[in-house]
Chain A
Amino acid sequence: MIEILQQIVNGVAIGGVYVLIALGLTTVFGILGIAHFAHGSVSMFGGYLTFFLVTSWGFPLLLAILVALIVGFVLGMLIELLAYRPVRNANHINAFIVALGLTMMVEGLNLQFFGHEQVVIPTNLSRVFDIGGVTIPELRLYVIIAAALLIIAMTLFVEKTKTGQAIRAVAENRDAAILMGVNVKTIPLVVFAISTALGVCAGVMVGSLFAIAPGIGEWLVVKGFAVLILGGLGSIPGAIVGGLVLGVTEALAAGFISSAYKDVIAFVVMIAVLLLRPQGLMGKA
């Protein structure tokens, strides 16, 4: 029993990271229909930046994260404005190519700026909590709490604010949203800013819990899209449920079936879900 609980706790932290990545991908996909492949690399950029600010400039961690978030906001808007907006009304393949090109560009920039070495964001959090035999490292606990707060904040933003509702409205019916007075030029900017900021948070979490290195961005974006498909394309609750399901499934698969095939097992579960619910866990048929 403790083993199962421990495995679930193990999976929740990485699941939270998946959720943050998937939230960004799913909102972008929802309003623009774009598979924003560069999201993982951009997230890693945020993690690298935080690492750099802390280790080279001596920023306190929280300040560094704040700066990285602001940079993420601006970067997100620039990506929308400079990369995706010009192909907004073109054939979908154009946006697809832009997304691929952007991925390579950002990966290249990361390599140029931050090098090829694995980096770990130093946090100096090494306490471990033991709750009835289930151990939770301090850092993991904070990551879980931070992810939960961000997920709640994002949900409240979308459900309770006018801008959030406008994002949903544009995703559901762009023309009708215009008739409601939604400025469909600014909404994508907002969406990219928020998505990228969430991605930066995920990057910081990966970078402090684990490590950032070339290739990690790709890994993350692949997981993000798996979550999207699992949860339902464009669905925010789907991203949340899907991310947690994927994280916990991976942990359980590694712990109880085979550590060598944990990714395979997670994808098999995903395929099984899609056979039963082709629209994804929370997607609308």
Chain B
Amino acid sequence: MLQINDLKVAYGPIDVVHGISLTVNAGECVALIGANGAGKSSTLKAICGLVPVKGGSITFEGRDITNLSGHAVVQAGITMCPEGRQVFPQMSTVKNLRMGAYMRRDAEQEADLERMMDMFPILRDRAHQAAGTLSGGEQEMLAIARALMARPKLCIFDEPSLGLAPKIVAEVAATIARIKAMGKTILLVEQNSLMALRLADRAYLFEAGEIVLSGTGEELQSHPEVVKAYLGH
């Protein structure tokens, strides 16, 4: 579904991604793991059109989406649930969710809104509260639900567990598992490697802007280097 070939990303003169290639197939959950600053988030931002691509190509459903502007990427069917949740703080929960469906013109948006609030009952309780007043975990749920409101073909999660209490992290993991079970294609970036590898069908390990290892979730979970460097046992 998503094909990345020799992708290079730079911020000004500083190269952060040095030509990586990866694939996400339809229905898969793919995780990108690695240390902070390894280039995972930059890769995502390049896919979503938030940072310019310096070299290489990105193909989605056979279509070249390299350097497409952000809104066109969303139009193509890719939605990102960004790092740090990035809800619209002064807008209500419901309005945040509706913003998720910004690109849609169909008649089922309100039905989807109901479905999201069924899926995340806490959001129904907070429906008319300003999103900025929600707790971190609630905001994460909102951000995930908001991403789903776009009915994306590919759903990207950028560090969904960052800064959350362990109990909430488990909840987020369960949520992603549910989305996966719904048949969505998922690209997941996580520093919490254990959680990511448990969720993922396949995974790529980033180090200093390059992919150093790839395999199924189980393979990487038991790979000695991963265990030593990232799983910490």
Contacts and interface: CB of A to CB of B under 8 A. Distances in A.
B99 interface: yes
B145 interface: no
B88 A176 contact: yes
A169 B70 contact: no
Contacts of A179: 48, 50, 70, 74, 79-80, 82, 86, 147
Interface in B145-188: 146-147, 150
A114 B135 CA distance: 57
A181 B98 CA distance: 12
B89 A172 contact: yes
B50 A180 contact: no
Contacts of A148: none
A162 interface: yes
Contacts, number: 71
Contact size range, B: 20 to 34
A172 B71 contact: no
B90 A166 contact: no
Interface string A151-180: 000000000001001101100110111111
Contact of A175 (B74, B82, B90, B98): B82
Contact of B102 (A166, A184, A185): A166
A135 interface: no
A183 B71 contact: yes
A284 B90 contact: yes
A239 interface: no
B86 A181 contact: no
Nearest to B49: A178
Contacts of A168: 88, 90-91
B103 interface: yes
Nearest to B75: A181
A182 interface: yes
Nearest to B103: A181
B100 interface: yes
Contacts of B89: 172-173, 284
A274 B49 CA distance: 40
A178 B99 contact: no
Contacts of B113: none
B97 to A, nearest CB: 11
B91 A172 contact: yes
A165 B71 contact: no
Interface in B93-136: 95, 98-100, 102-103, 132
A183 B70 CA distance: 7
Nearest to B80: A179
A169 B91 contact: yes
Given A172-B88, A173-B89, A180-B100, 18 more contacts: A165-B102, A166-B102, A168-B90, A172-B89, A172-B91, A173-B86, A175-B50, A176-B88, A178-B74, A179-B48, A180-B99, A180-B102, A180-B103, A181-B70, A181-B74, A181-B150, A184-B71, A284-B89
Interface of A: 162, 165-166, 168-169, 172-173, 175-185, 284
Interface of B: 48-50, 69-71, 74-75, 79-80, 82, 86-91, 95, 98-100, 102-103, 132, 146-147, 150
30 contacts: A165-B98, A166-B99, A168-B90, A168-B91, A169-B88, A169-B91, A173-B89, A175-B50, A175-B86, A176-B82, A176-B86, A176-B87, A176-B88, A177-B99, A178-B71, A178-B74, A179-B70, A179-B82, A179-B147, A180-B99, A180-B100, A180-B150, A181-B71, A181-B74, A181-B75, A181-B102, A181-B103, A184-B71, A284-B89, A284-B132
